[in-house]
Amino acid sequence: MPSLRNLEFAFSSKEEAVGDGCPDDLPLSPPCGGRPSPTVAAPPFDQQLTAFNEHGEATRVTLTQAGSSGGGKIEVATYVNEFWTARQRQANSLHEVSYRACFKPQLPRFFIERLTEPGDWVYDPFMGRGTTPLEAALMGRVPVGCDVNPLSVLLTKPRLNPPAQKQVADRLSEIDLTDSEAAPEDLLVFFHPETLGAIAALRRYFRRRLETGQLDSIDAWIRLVALNRLTGHSKGFFSVYTLPPNQAVSVKSQRRINERRGQVPDRRDVRAVILKKSRLLMSECGLDLRRTLGLVENQALLITASADRTPQILSNSVSLVVTSPPFLKVVQYEQDNWLRCWFAEIDPASVAITMSSSVSAWSEVMTSVFHELARVLKPGGHVAFEVGEVQKGTVRLEEAVIPCGLSAGLEPRLVMINDQEFTKTANCWGVGNNAKGTNTNRIVLFQK
Ligand SMILES: C[S@@+](CC[C@H](N)C(=O)[O-])C[C@H]1O[C@@H](n2cnc3c(N)ncnc32)[C@H](O)[C@@H]1O
pLDDT in tens, 120-151: 999 999 999 999 999 999 999 999 999 999 99
What band does 348 get if pLDDT is binned at 50, 70 and 90? confident
Among 26-30, 80-84, 157-161, 321-325, the minimum mean pLDDT is found in: 26-30
What band does 371 get if pLDDT is binned at 50, 70 and 90? very high
Instruction: Give me the pLDDT at residue 353, please.
Output: 76
Tell which atom from ligand 1 comes closest to the C-alpha of 351.
25
What band does 4 get if pLDDT is binned at 50, 70 and 90? very low
pLDDT 10s digits, 419-438: 866 543 333 333 333 334 44
Tell which atom from ligand 1 comes closest to the C-alpha of 101.
1
Instruction: Count the Cβ atoms, other than its own, within 10 Å of residue 211.
Output: 9
Instruction: Give me the pLDDT at residue 55, please.
Output: 84
**Cα–Cα distances in Å, from 345 out to 203, 204, 223, 227?**
8, 10, 12, 11
Pocket test for ligand 1, best of 107, 153, 353 (most atoms within 8 A of CB): 353
DSSP 77: E
Q: How far apart are CA 349 and CA 358, in angstroms?
A: 22
pLDDT of 266 higher than 90: yes
Mean pLDDT of 309-323: 98
Q: How far apart are CA 409 and CA 367, in angstroms?
A: 10
Query: How far is ligand 1, taken at its centre, from the CA of residue 101, in Å?
Result: 9
What band does 37 get if pLDDT is binned at 50, 70 and 90? very low
Q: Which residues of 32-67 are buried (b: 16+ CB within 10 A; e: fewer)?
A: eeeeebbbeeeebbbbbbbebeeeeeebebeebebe
The reported pTM is 0.87
Q: Who wins on pLDDT, 265 or 87?
A: 265
Alpha carbon nearest to ligand 1 atom 13, residue: 126
In three-state secondary structure terms, 271 is helix
Among the listed residues 28, 24, 29, 31, the one whose alpha carbon sits nearest the alpha carbon of residue 3: 24
pLDDT of 19 higher than 70: no
DSSP 232: B
Pocket test for ligand 1, best of 106, 148, 373 (most atoms within 8 A of CB): 148
In three-state secondary structure terms, 378 is strand
Q: Are 307 and 146 in contact (CB under 8 A)?
A: yes
CATH 3.40.50.150 residue ranges for the chain: 4-149+300-339+350-447
Dihedral over Cα of 345, 227, 99, 49: its sign: positive
193-211 and 217-229 helices cross at what angle (nearest 10)? 150
Q: Which residue pairs, CB below 8 angstroms and at least 24 apart, start in 39-47?
A: 39/114, 39/115, 42/114, 44/18, 44/19, 44/20, 45/114, 45/115, 45/413, 45/414, 45/445, 46/17, 46/18, 46/19, 46/77, 46/79, 46/413, 46/414, 47/18
Query: How far is ligand 1, taken at its centre, from the CA of residue 128, in Å?
Result: 5
Alpha carbon nearest to ligand 1 atom 15, residue: 353
Tell which atom from ligand 1 comes closest to the C-alpha of 365.
19
The two counts, helices (H) then strands (E), for the chain are 17, 11
Query: How far is ligand 1, taken at its centre, from the CA of residue 308, in Å?
Result: 12
Ramachandran bin of 105, using left for φ above 0, alpha for ψ from -120 to 50, beta for the remaining angles: alpha
Query: How far is ligand 1, taken at its centre, from the CA of residue 124, in Å?
Result: 9
Q: Are 381 and 416 in contact (CB under 8 A)?
A: no
Tell which atom from ligand 1 comes closest to the C-alpha of 323.
6
Query: How far is ligand 1, taken at its centre, from the CA of residue 156, in Å?
Result: 13
As for ligand 1, residues whose beta carbon falls within 6 Å of it are 99, 101-103, 125-129, 131, 146-149, 152, 306-307, 324-326, 333, 353-354
Q: How far apart are CA 343 and CA 204, in angstroms?
A: 9
**Cα–Cα distances in Å, from 130 out to 3, 126, 324, 336, 398?**
34, 9, 11, 17, 22
Tell which atom from ligand 1 comes closest to the C-alpha of 129.
9
Peptide bond into 23 cis (omega under 30): yes
Bridge partners (DSSP) of residue 384 are 322, 445
Instruction: Give me the pLDDT at residue 279, please.
Output: 97
Mean pLDDT of 161-183: 96
4-149+300-339+350-447 is a CATH 3.40.630.30 domain: no
pLDDT 10s digits, 181-234: 999 999 999 999 999 999 999 999 999 999 999 999 999 999 999 999 999 999
